[in-house]
Amino acid sequence: MKVLDLLEEIEEVVDTAAAVPLTGKIMVDADEILEIVKEIRIELPDEIQQAQWIKEERERILSEAKQEYETVLKDARRQAEALIENDDITVKAKQRAEEILTVAQNNVRELKMSAFNYIDSILYNFQQKMDQLNGEHFIKMFEDIETTFGNINDTLGENRKEIEELAQKTQAEHD
């Protein structure tokens, strides 16, 4: 996935950037970072288009299921009306119409459930990819930042301790 490569490139720029002494900050080439961000923005629409395709595919499947349901229902009504010629045929026709309607409703329900399961699996895979992206890159990046701040804080503490020792030594020499 190109977006992941670009995020790794940003991490590399941050990791290799020159540190500004005693500030805990780094210096990076703004143009380089902005160019990478621009490329990420170009790549993200592909992910968005995939989500849009999933939505459109779901709507298409549901529309087809509805059309099939209506067709089966119309056929059942037509057959039922044709059979209403005498009482015995009418009773049988009503039974058959109910059977056809039940079958049609079951078919529609199965088609809808299949569509929902299909869409859910696509969304689940997309969600997994996003979790993976988060787990692999963003969490590590924040851990690295936290470690860097901890190291800077430790260094500052050591520097303060050295200054304190020098001050005590200077004070002891004058006493």
Dist. CA 14–CA 11, nearest whole Å: 5
Residue with tokens 């301790």: 161
Flag whether the pTM goes above 0.75. Answer: no
At 86, the pLDDT band (50, 70, 90 cuts) reads low
How far is residue 22 from each of residues 14, 33, 144, 152, 160, measured CA to CA in Å?
17, 23, 18, 8, 12
Report domain extents, the chain.
2-174
Mean pLDDT to the nearest integer, 85-90? 64
Dist. CA 10–CA 32, nearest whole Å: 9
pLDDT (tens digit, 9 = 90+) per residue, 31-83? 988 998 888 888 777 767 777 888 888 888 889 889 998 998 898 888 877 76
Is 133 exposed, middle or buried, given 0-12, 13-18 or 19+ CB atoms closer than 10 A? Answer: middle
